[in-house]
Amino acid sequence: MSSEIAIVGAGLAGSEAAWQAAVRGVKVDLFDMKPLKFSPAHKNNNFAELVCSNSFRSDDYMHNAVGLLHEEMRRADSLVMSVADETKVPAGGALAVDRELFAQKITEKLAAHKNINIISKEIQTLGELDYPLIIIATGPLTAQNLALDIQKSTSHSALAFYDAIAPVVYKESIDFSKAWYQSRYDKGEMKDYINCPLSKEEYEAFIKALLDAEKAEFHDFENDAYFDGCLPIEVMAERGIETLRFGPMKPVGLTNPHSNEKPYAVVQLRQDNLQDTLRNIVGFQTKLKYSAQKRVFSLIPGLQNAEFARFGGIHKNTFIKSPILLDNFLRLKSNPKLMFAGQITGCEGYVESAAVGFLAGVFSGFFASNKTPVLPPRATAFASMLAHLSNTQNIDSYQPMNINFGLFQPLEPIITAQGKQKHLKGLQKKEAYAKRALLSLEGWLKDLHNAFSTNG
């Protein structure tokens, strides 16, 4: 065996981890069950497949925590962010990509790297891997046999919830006599979003049909626990008739050119590929049966004749109790040769998953080179994500988490000329977080460069 690290799973986390280890001169065997087998939510042969949405969310790094994580990853030479920038499509202030081209380019770059050996194989037990270091990056769709083996190895029960996938329609099937192009408050380009308006009567009829529609069945061993950041639209509707009007169907910041009457609710569709032939229905993740989706979503003005390129669906999401099980370098405390990365650790979101994969890859590079790893400064978004994974408070309610400023180290108050303490608020506070993070990041990146300056 010539490789020093085995990485299981070539999603965003595994792909990023493999790349970061490889560019530091470490030989990597990257295992993925594609194309021999696919998870319930994956269809593409390529790695780093995006299934829930094509959006990496806000790219505003001075005022948004995920945008700041984007910027830190860019400055750290992240593979995922580099390819995301290569394949981005218009999405207002968000970063969105052509999903197929993104996955294709990630796969090509990994396959071309001299230090990465790709092996198409489903790993069913950890005992199959005889390596000095192993990174498990199998994500929220970890296959059942491996999940059960991980559960045995950790001596703690894995947790599970469900992500729901939003449907995609062909743009040419949208009725523009009712729909129109516009971003909320005219941010970004005009054609970033397509809007479909609903009157009060149309909205109430839609909600009734949504609540009455037939849902997909769960298996006996499953339960319907959801992550609040990715609730199925029908679950949101169950929380009250007005819930969707204050969520994905909020009518604010938009002007209907077809009518002087203000929309009571609005459905938005975001560009899903570079050619702009596909549109993703924003926030419409669902577990409705396919026939019900076609019938219910066709009640939306502008989508009455919509043709669906992909219906929504559900998939299981498994993650471990990282605060109990992992050390600060993402290693299993009871078995330091075993590391975890990505959503299986309890981070949530594409960007966060890739960021934790980045850290696992960097740390593994240190370990494989017999060097002492250097943690990112606590003020950074990188370290704030790690802090969530190592926070043992409220462990009984540990749940997946997106990056947010609530995870950051609190800002020191400003001392005024009168000697009083002043606490920043709003945009000023967010800007202060961002400036502090990027300033502290610089030293860490220099340390990483110096530690591996002789590696290929």
Question: What is the radius of gyration, based on Cα positions, of the chain?
Answer: 23
pLDDT for position 444: 97
pLDDT for position 454: 59
Angstrom distance (rounded) from CA 193 to CA 178: 14
Q: 260: which DSSP letter?
A: S
Angstrom distance (rounded) from CA 56 to CA 54: 7
For the chain, give every residue range classified as CATH 3.50.50.60. Answer: 5-158+320-451
pLDDT for position 42: 67
pLDDT for position 246: 94
Burial of 209 (0-12, 13-18, 19+ CB in 10 A): middle
Q: CA 358: distance to chain centroid?
A: 14
Angstrom distance (rounded) from CA 380 to CA 390: 15
pLDDT for position 158: 64
Block residue for tokens 């075993």: 338
How would CATH label the architecture of 164-315?
Beta Barrel (2.40)
Angstrom distance (rounded) from CA 92 to CA 88: 11
For the chain, give every residue range classified as CATH 2.40.30. Answer: 164-315
CATH superfamily of 5-158+320-451: FAD/NAD(P)-binding domain (3.50.50.60)
pLDDT for position 225: 61
127 Rama class: left (phi>0) / alpha (psi -120 to 50) / beta: alpha
236 close to 247: Cβ distance less than 8 angstroms: yes
pLDDT in tens, 323-377: 999 999 999 999 999 999 999 998 988 999 999 999 999 999 999 999 999 999 9
144 close to 266: Cβ distance less than 8 angstroms: no
* Percent of the chain clearing pLDDT 90 (strictly above): 65
pLDDT in tens, 138-189: 987 788 888 888 888 886 666 666 666 789 899 999 999 999 999 988 887 7
Q: Are β-strands 28-32 and 116-120 bridged in parallel, bridged antiparallel, or unpaired?
A: parallel
Q: Which residues, 6+ apart, have CB-to-CB distance to 37 below 8 Å?
A: 122, 143
Q: Which residues, 6+ apart, have CB-to-CB distance to 243 below 8 Å?
A: 236, 237
Q: Which residues, 6+ apart, have CB-to-CB distance to 323 below 8 Å?
A: 389, 390, 391, 392, 395, 398
Q: Are β-strands 335-340 and 133-136 bridged in parallel, bridged antiparallel, or unpaired?
A: parallel
pTM: 0.80
138 close to 344: Cβ distance less than 8 angstroms: yes
pLDDT for position 221: 45
Angstrom distance (rounded) from CA 55 to CA 309: 18
pLDDT for position 238: 95
Q: Which residues of the chain have pLDDT under 50?
A: 1, 220-221, 456
